[in-house]
Structure 1
């Protein structure tokens, strides 16, 4: 497996839902400490790494990716030893039932619901509400379950990490792939000084990036993210948002942000200069850390570069290896352009 993919695997298989990013943060710190000029951990737990370049920048630039993933949190233990839970981040309840999970870092379980043969006819046609689901760890009663689990414990999906057919299939590609790209960039020599933020709690309110942007006070920001690709059977092309294999995705607007128009166009020029494919996001939908960053202090000029990812916010997402490698090249080129003052070369 390529060195970059080994790092991506370590990041994606680490467990780190919002508020529980410690394992992911430890991996990132170990990777970047030999290369960063300085590193700060914010009170919420985000990493702010500064890397000195060959020259001072004309535009103070912050690059941002988030460490956390969607998951669940235990809320209650029933008398029968079953775990009730709430979602952490936006998870489609259609994908929950029957999924294997890990509670904490070591307790295996499975998400269950009332057996299908006991459902009323109208219930069979609907997704089971989260309130009617539970996690079964095999405990015989509450007392036994409480020996291993308590309310407030994090729950993560179990997942594969597979790179066959030119694809990467894994849990937490949103946004560990973005983190991996920033780590790789930080390890390289840079033309200009830059700040790298690995943010916490994106999935639950953009909290890590909001506080990090306040601390860094950037003039501009590049947000690395994954975005929904609906290029699957039964979806018209105009509704597919973007296409896996079509290159990194550049957004002009989403539910939280109207992106900087000059930087939006610059991203396409950067892709051309880097010799990689690039595509526009064909929908005004979703959101990411840009929503908090671009309104920090008096405002931050912001652009988002996303990986097209099928099955986002589920147990297994899918990206194209080619898109991942293209994102590395595009972001490096775009960052140099912005930090250098917006070169049109």
Structure 2
């Protein structure tokens, strides 16, 4: 299953090769052009009527992770976070380190040895380490290099009522939607961009949008779902099973109202479930894209993801399917002339 392969692939920011190779192989026979730019973005192009708007669809390949920063004399690995990680969830998690995917476990001082005040706060990164079973620094250095990345060792599985469990659904679920769309044919210029380094500052999207300079853009994302018993409803952000989430504003952009209204119109007409994303602090690739050149009208379609930025996340596969249908219908609207080619006046 493609989502399983994408989820289990290693793609910490700056090391997206494995994910990129899976996607390239999957879409190479469906696009007219395919290339990788200097930063690592995978950019594909499908030809179409040049009198119609040029659309850029973007989904990021990278995931949060850890970077090895030191190897102690007894062979343990010190590390730093790559992207936003909750320190509270790190202890005892299984990880894969480096290109050889060396298995390890994140360890810390046993709770029996901790002082009372230590038990009341999350352990700092300097108090954590990755144990790969080595007896010495020399033994670890034969397997690990400083700067190697580590990712969570999580297997994909479908559970419950059409729920998928796995890592990196932010944003491998968006990548999957984009792959599905690229296998369709539309009569307008379409760029699909699988971006790099979103989790550390939307870096890939910045250079790709400047290069392509589209007339409009859609970002396909995974987003926070905090629909849990200890959270008030207004703090849920999104809810699993209520359809894809449309953003009005977040920490990096106010989305283009013309695109947003068209997405809502499509959902209402096609009877597609949708919801609004209610959490506004975080940002996405849209923050970089909409500021490129003289400005690019941009909107965001997200799949709710429970326990995001953790070793194990959950998504509702119906939300993903509906999000993909929404993007497909939006593309058909462009094909029918639903937007002009003048920055969607």
TM-score range (shorter-chain normalised) is: over 0.9
Offset, 1:59: 1.9
Q: Does 1:215 align with 2:207?
A: no
Q: Does 1:58 align with 2:58?
A: no
> Which whole-Å CA distance do the structure 1 matches of 2:206 and 2:310 have between them?
25
Residues 257-294 of structure 1 deviation map (CA, whole Å, 9 limit, x = unaligned): 11111211211112233432000111212111001000
Cα distance change, pair 297–340 in 1 and its aligned pair in 2 (3 A): farther
CA RMSD in angstroms comes to 1.4
Equivalent residue runs for 1:232-247 within 5 Å: 232-247=228-243
> Which whole-Å CA distance do the structure 1 matches of 2:278 and 2:116 have between them?
38
- Residue number in structure 2 paired with 1:264: 260
Other structure's SS at 1:156 match: strand
Other structure's SS at 2:284 match: coil
Show structure 1 runs of 4+ deviating over 3 A: 338-344
- Residue number in structure 1 paired with 2:294: 298
Which of 45, 61, 72 aligns to 2:66? It is 72
- Residue number in structure 2 paired with 1:81: 75
- Residue number in structure 2 paired with 1:230: 226
Q: Does 1:186 align with 2:182?
A: yes
Residues 36-90 of structure 1 deviation map (CA, whole Å, 9 limit, x = unaligned): 111121101101100124x335322100000111101100000111100001110
- Residue number in structure 1 paired with 2:142: 147
Other structure's SS at 1:214 match: helix
Q: Does 1:251 align with 2:247?
A: yes
> Which whole-Å CA distance do the structure 1 matches of 2:185 and 2:53 have between them?
18
Residues 221-260 of structure 1 deviation map (CA, whole Å, 9 limit, x = unaligned): 0000111000011101011111010100001111111111
Q: 2:107, 2:130 within 8 Å by CA — same for their partners in 1?
A: yes
Which of 89, 94, 112 aligns to 1:95? It is 89
> Which whole-Å CA distance do the structure 2 matches of 1:292 and 1:191 have between them?
27
Q: Does 1:25 align with 2:1?
A: no
> Which whole-Å CA distance do the structure 1 matches of 2:153 and 2:335 have between them?
40
Which of 253, 275, 281 aligns to 1:279? It is 275
Q: How many residues align?
A: 338
Offset, 1:340: 5.2
TM-score (norm 1): 0.95
> Which whole-Å CA distance do the structure 1 matches of 2:281 and 2:78 have between them?
31
Q: 1:254, 1:286 within 8 Å by CA — same for their partners in 2?
A: yes
Which of 11, 19, 43 aligns to 1:48? It is 43
Q: 2:60, 2:198 within 8 Å by CA — same for their partners in 1?
A: yes
Q: 1:68, 1:200 within 8 Å by CA — same for their partners in 2?
A: yes
Other structure's SS at 2:122 match: coil
Q: 2:66, 2:82 within 8 Å by CA — same for their partners in 1?
A: yes
Residues 185-227 of structure 1 deviation map (CA, whole Å, 9 limit, x = unaligned): 1111223221100001111111111100011011110000111
> Which whole-Å CA distance do the structure 2 matches of 1:189 and 1:338 have between them?
12
> Which whole-Å CA distance do the structure 2 matches of 1:285 and 1:167 have between them?
26
- Residue number in structure 2 paired with 1:3: none
TM-score (norm 2): 0.95
Which of 31, 50, 53 aligns to 1:36? It is 31
Q: Does 1:200 align with 2:196?
A: yes
Offset, 1:341: 4.9
